Structure 1
Amino acid sequence: MRKTAFILAFLSVFFSTKVKGQQLQLIIEGENSIENRIIDALGYTTYHSDYEGLHSEIKTFQDQLYSIGYIENRRDSISRINDSLYQTKIQLKTQYHTISIYYPKNKIETSTLTSVSQEVHDDYFVLNLQDVEEALAFINSKLVDKGAPFSKLRLSNISIQDSGHLKAHIIITAESQKRYLDHIIIKGYERFPKSYLKHYLKIKPNKTFSLKAIQKKTEQLNSLAFAHEIKPPEVLFSKDSTTLYMYIEKSASNGFDGFLGFGTNEDSNTLEFDGYVNLSLVNNLNYGERFGLQYKSDQSQQKNFKVDLSLPYLFGSPIGVDLELNIFKKDSSYTTTHQAVNLNYQLNPKHKVAAGIFSVSSNTLLTETSTAAIADYKSVFLKLSYQYTVPQQQHLLFPVHHFVYAEAGTGERKTTTHPEKQFQWTLNTFKIFNLNAKNSVFVKLNAASMASDTYFENELLRFGGINSIRGFEENSILASLYGVLNVEYRLQLSNTIYIHSITDLASFENVLTDAKEKLYGYGLGFGILTRSGLLKFNYANGKSEHTPFKLSNSKIHISLVARF
């Protein structure tokens, strides 16, 4: 008895599982062979686990027919052929290809319609049927951008216009009044400078509300050195107001940059050192201000002291001011003092223009009979500049993808004899060409020129070193015109480590000595992002076109950019 009961229980479980696991097959047929070929070409899922899935597939297939113009398709009831086979017939009928949609001219702009249709008339536009859903979504997004976040579109009075063509009317359901941004609340970094909301992000109260536009603007927060976006903004709609919540976090933006360089002196054959420190304090007063201090000294008895201050958006205006003082001393030969005042205007987060006054005063420390190439003078220039910056957001090692800075100025130099007109220009640009996630090519161009009838040694341009052509001493090359090209192949080993090649080319002219020469720098380097900051190590050898390669001319440059 127990054995019989066990066998019956086993058979019950076995057959019930087999029935439950059995799949249902669906066959969809048309009215004729032509319709069958169309149905087979569109395709549908044949096997289903239950009747609900099978029924849902038929509805999905009909929706697909509607979208390609078979809006009159009709299906018969589902017939059960056997336990697992079901069949239905669908009459496709006429396929319509286009539709004329009539629209209210006072609510939809013609420029919006021309973006989705190539045939736009005074009161209607024409679409292919398969494009209707996407076109209506685009039109609705434009209505949302104009301050109607709850607008909805639908087609009404759909009818046959002629063979293969339909017509319909757009019905817009929306609030009777536009939505305007009433309040902005910042979470996380409550002391975020409000002037950056108004002039940098251009998010202002009492403006037409568009969440899409605001989200695009707030992404630009990640371009700032002192703040970044924690998460996308959110909006609270009430009956009579719209409140925007922004989630911002303050970033460590103060920087300390220093490097140590050493090489062999060709004359004394001894090891010599040079280096500098660069302190940058950013947004410590929650104003977006920047204060920089730099001091540099090298084995050529050159000393350079520079201090600058940048104050953005003065008194809540879109205008900022940049102040700079730079004192340079060349051993016991001369001292030169540069002073600059610039007013800048941030067109948008990428573009910035400035205009200002730049003055230079140089005094010789030598007797008049020592050299005629060094003299006392004073110069005043009027300058214009343009800056373009494209960041690489969330990239720790290389946060800037593309940078351009161009400056030009005209002025007058005064000496004890007579005044003289002068012209100067500077170009500094670089770009990173990302080959893939780990490999990239960095290309930088730095060029400058000074045009004058006569020249003094203490007013010539200076370049050379880790920030220009590597393998040469810092600011050891004098020129009236120069150009430096830096090329690096970079291999990123991890998010915090990379290695790179060094290929530097330079060409310069010195009209004072009637010299024209080309310089070359080759080497290798690496960078490591530590907790203290970015540590960079460069080994480079420099040579001119007329001198042989010497290993003793190699320079090792070490720099650390610390953030705090």
Structure 2
Amino acid sequence: MYLKIIGNSNIENKTIDSIGYNTNHINIKSIFDEANSMSEKLLKLGFIENEIIENKKTNDTTFQFVFDIRKKTNFIHIYIGANSELKTLGILKNKNDTLKIAFSEIENFMNQNLKLLEQKGFSLSSLKLINYRKTNHALFAGLDLQIGNKRQLNDIVIVGYEKFPEGHKKNIKRLYKNKVFNLENLKKLKDDFDKFRFISQKKYPEILFTKDTTKVYVYLEKTKPNRFDGLVGFSNDEKKKIKFNGYLDLLLINTLNSGEEFTLFWKSDGADQKTFNAGLELPYIFKTRFGLKTTLNIFKQDSTFQNTKTNLDIGYFF
């Protein structure tokens, strides 16, 4: 089935053709939806009085819609009021009580201001134009703003991994609790959880708005990033003593549900050379913001040389 849309004049035809529309359709509903879509597109461009004045079936497969798009409204005058909250919040810088913008920019204007409100924590704000009136080809409207309460992140609820390390949980809540709630801070929260190698997020965090609180639900599952690799053999030396040779590479992360990390590396050629490295990291000791990192490195060359290094660091998580 085919759709043809024309205007009331050659000029209107050029306008319609410049917008474009889908001519091929699978059923009648799709044809009518496309015609209504054309009307909405014309409206956004400023042809606010456009209307379908005729639709007919010209043959077995073709429908024709005739539009009267009328005069284009290029600008709209929006009354924002002398004491608009948009000015108080620093979103609108205009000093006058009326703002003149291109009609085609209305949607962009509304979306930008809603985005700025959201960034400031007014996530449930609504913005719409009201009281339209037209005088001498000039269009006027009022601006209705429902701003709601400023939202702060009141709580973070972890779902799916009940034994999530308490120190990490406490620190995450310290960083984000009572922060302005907006999509940017929500993404930062998600990214901070992604930094933990011992968990994965099942889905994007969800928000629960109540009258007075804002909660974020984070859906986690424990992963096993542990690593074990090794090959150990043994042989007898000249004195028939057993000597081990090979290597062992071990990494254990969050085995005790405290976010700890333990590393062990051992290598021996079964003769003269041996290497042993071990490390332990304990973040948020006793649920405080202090962390401990210790390492031990031993290198031995036959019985005449041995180098041992130890290191102990105490850090603070800001």
CA drift of 1:192 comes to 0.4
User: How far, CA to CA, are the matches of 1:198 and 1:168 in structure 2?
Assistant: 50
Read off the aligned partner of 1:88 and give its amino acid letter. Answer: V
CA drift of 1:189 comes to 0.8
Instruction: Kindly indicate whether residue 149 of structure 2 is the aligned counterpart of residue 173 of structure 1.
Output: no
CA drift of 1:66 comes to 1.9
2:227: which partner in 1? 255
Read off the aligned partner of 2:219 and give its amino acid letter. Answer: Y
After the TM superposition, which of the residue ranges 33-42 and 125-134 deviates more from structure 2? 125-134
| CA offsets 1:20-61 (integer angstroms, 9 cap, x no match) | xxx58554313x322221122223345767776555444321
Asked if the contact 1:183/1:243 (under 8 Å) is kept, the reply is yes
Normalising by structure 2, what TM-score? Answer: 0.75
Secondary structure of the residue aligned to 2:225 is coil
CA-based RMSD of the aligned residues comes to 3.9
| CA offsets 1:95-145 (integer angstroms, 9 cap, x no match) | 4168778462123536xxxxxxxxx64467776544432443343234334
1:338: which partner in 2? 309
Q: Which has the higher contact order (CA 8 A, sep 6+)?
A: 2
Q: Which of residues 118, 121, 140 in structure 1 aligns to 2:114?
A: 140
Read off the aligned partner of 1:109 and give its amino acid letter. Answer: I
2:39: which partner in 1? 62
1:90: which partner in 2? 68
| CA offsets 1:308-336 (integer angstroms, 9 cap, x no match) | 21111234444422111222222233222
2:165: which partner in 1? 193
1:245: which partner in 2? 217
Normalising by structure 1, what TM-score? Answer: 0.45
Instruction: Kindly indicate whether residue 259 of structure 2 is the aligned counterpart of residue 288 of structure 1.
Output: yes
Asked if the contact 2:253/2:262 (under 8 Å) is kept, the reply is yes
Q: 1:331 to 1:25 in 2, by over 3 A?
A: closer
Listed as ranges, the gaps of 5+ residues in structure 2 are 234-243
Asked if the contact 2:42/2:50 (under 8 Å) is kept, the reply is no
Aligned pairs, number: 301
Read off the aligned partner of 1:107 and give its amino acid letter. Answer: L
Asked if the contact 1:277/1:294 (under 8 Å) is kept, the reply is yes
Q: 1:319 to 1:134 in 2, by over 3 A?
A: farther
CA drift of 1:64 comes to 0.5
Asked if the contact 2:226/2:251 (under 8 Å) is kept, the reply is yes
- Greater percentage in helix: 2
Listed as ranges, the gaps of 5+ residues in structure 1 are 1-22, 111-119, 262-272, 348-564
Q: 1:331 to 1:180 in 2, by over 3 A?
A: same
Asked if the contact 1:256/1:278 (under 8 Å) is kept, the reply is yes
Aligned-pair identity in percent equals: 31
User: How far, CA to CA, are the matches of 1:336 and 1:259 in structure 2?
Assistant: 24
CA drift of 1:283 comes to 1.3
CA drift of 1:340 comes to 1.5
User: How far, CA to CA, are the matches of 1:157 and 1:303 in structure 2?
Assistant: 85
Instruction: Kindly indicate whether residue 209 of structure 2 is the aligned counterpart of residue 229 of structure 1.
Output: no
CA drift of 1:287 comes to 1.2
Return the index of the structure with the highest Cα Rg.
1
User: How far, CA to CA, are the matches of 2:136 and 2:89 in structure 1?
Assistant: 28
2:238: which partner in 1? none
- Greater percentage in strand: 1
2:299: which partner in 1? 328
Q: 1:296 to 1:54 in 2, by over 3 A?
A: closer
Asked if the contact 1:44/1:57 (under 8 Å) is kept, the reply is yes
Asked if the contact 2:78/2:143 (under 8 Å) is kept, the reply is no
Secondary structure of the residue aligned to 2:107 is helix
